[in-house]
Amino acid sequence: KLDDSMISKAFSLIKEEGKVKIVLLPKKHDEIKIEPSGLLSRSVGEKIKDLEKLRQQVLSRDSRIKAISIRYYEDYVDKWYYSTEDREIHLIYPISGVSITVTAIEAGVTASASTTSFTYKGYIFDIVDENELVNTIINRIDKQLQGRFPKPGIFPVVLDPDVVGVFTHEALGHLAEADLAINGILHKLKGKKIASDEVTVVDSPHMDFPRGIGYTPYDDEGVEGIDVKIIDRGMVKDFLMDRFYAAYLGKMPTGNARAEDFRSQILIRMRNTYMAPGTHRLEELFEGIKEGYFMKSTLGGQTSSDGSFQFGIQEGYFIRNGEIAESLRASGISGFTIETMGEISMVSKDLLISSGFCGKSGQSVPVGTGGPFIRVEKLKVGGYE
């Protein structure tokens, strides 16, 4: 329970005075706890040994790797929320994860690759197979070293769930945050069709995937999280709301008010943002593509409020006559979000979720991203030598 000193500390952190209209909610008392399986029982020394073992596994697999960086992340969230509405919410859950970055050299070619994995279910190495991490990083660096530069232009492109997740989060999700949406392009398109019936994009407070670290059963305004369909069967439907913007727009808050920590301002943030599965088998997405690309993993990128985006690709392949061919090196994709949504012609039955952190106004919060495989009929592909 809170004591007087903690309450005084909380009041001292208030940075602004004045009144604003917000949506008020009924009384609610709730506690949600996820046991930190293996996270707290292991010593720091044991965790360091696990990381060293991982490092040795990567280095032993490929002598071309000249540098490696492994970072371990661990957080144990114990969060209380109290309000004068008599809402009392207590959340306890862990987050742990690891990121690997390698640099390799072969025949005068230098390449880098990375992979990350986080979970809210416990200790990362209890949840994620370390061999999966090793195989992923080794495959990515090998494809970069062996890959060919892409032929720039507009092509049909198949996107992996990893890339789809980054696209839905960065290029679409931010545009749906109410504080940005209200003066953005999505607000003007609300209720209008921008994609086929097979395209649905959701922001969810909870997914039954270990990597869905945007886990937010209640947000930092004490609001119980609900699924938000940003795009529903191709139509722009709903935005992510906090209490203030919900009141302003005459809606109910959605549970998207999040802060990095108790010292930070609460902002409208995504949680687990993904494209919902469709009806197609993966093989169908490649059929009929005479010349195109298959993009599997992103490596940085940027988006703008006008809806434009540009993402680097760290693992990609040529598609020739419906088959996956040679790997790519130093490639990228770019376009405009609304136009690209309209070019999605097929959505696979799969659903895979990745994990990461999202930045906004100097704050970073854990998020999940993902989706199925999708086929985009026209997408700009570029590269550099």
**DSSP per-residue codes, 167-208:** IIIIIIIGGGBHHHHTTSHHHHTTTSB-S-TT--EEEES--S
When the candidates are 3.30.2290.10, 1.10.287.130, 3.40.50.1220, 1.10.1840.10, the CATH number that belongs to 15-146 is 3.30.2290.10
Name residues whose C-beta falls within 8 Å of residue 300's C-beta, 6 or more positions apart in sequence.
311, 312
The separation between CA 154 and the C-alpha centre of its own chain, rounded to angstroms, equals 26
- 3-state SS class at 71: strand
Q: What backbone torsions phi and psi does residue 14 show, to the nearest 5 degrees?
A: -65, 125
Cα–Cα distance for residue pair 309/161, rounded to 1 Å: 17
pLDDT at 119: 96
Contact 272/353 with Cβ under 8 angstroms?
A: yes
Contact criterion met (CB below 8 Å) for 232 and 150: no
The candidate with the shortest Cα–Cα distance to 377, out of 324, 326, 327, 319, is 319
Question: Whole-prediction pTM value?
Answer: 0.93
How is the chain split into domains, by residue range?
15-146, 153-383
Q: What is the pLDDT along the chain (385 residues), one digit of tens a residue?
A: 566 776 677 666 666 655 678 888 889 999 999 987 788 789 999 999 999 999 999 999 999 999 999 999 999 999 999 999 999 999 999 999 999 999 999 999 999 999 999 999 999 999 999 999 999 999 999 999 999 999 999 999 999 999 999 999 999 999 999 999 999 999 999 999 999 999 999 999 999 899 999 999 999 999 999 999 999 999 999 999 999 999 999 999 999 999 999 889 999 999 999 999 999 999 999 999 999 999 999 987 888 888 899 999 999 999 999 999 999 998 999 999 999 999 999 999 999 999 999 999 999 999 999 999 999 999 999 975 5
Closest CA to 340 of 307, 366, 295: 307
DSSP state of 54: H
Closest by Cα among 373, 372, 200, 201 to 285: 373
Interaxial angle between packed helices 44-61 and 130-146, expressed in degrees from 0 to 180 and rounded to the nearest 10: 30
CA–CA distance, 377 with 340 (Å, rounded to integer): 9
Q: In this structure, which amino acid lies at residue 272?
A: N
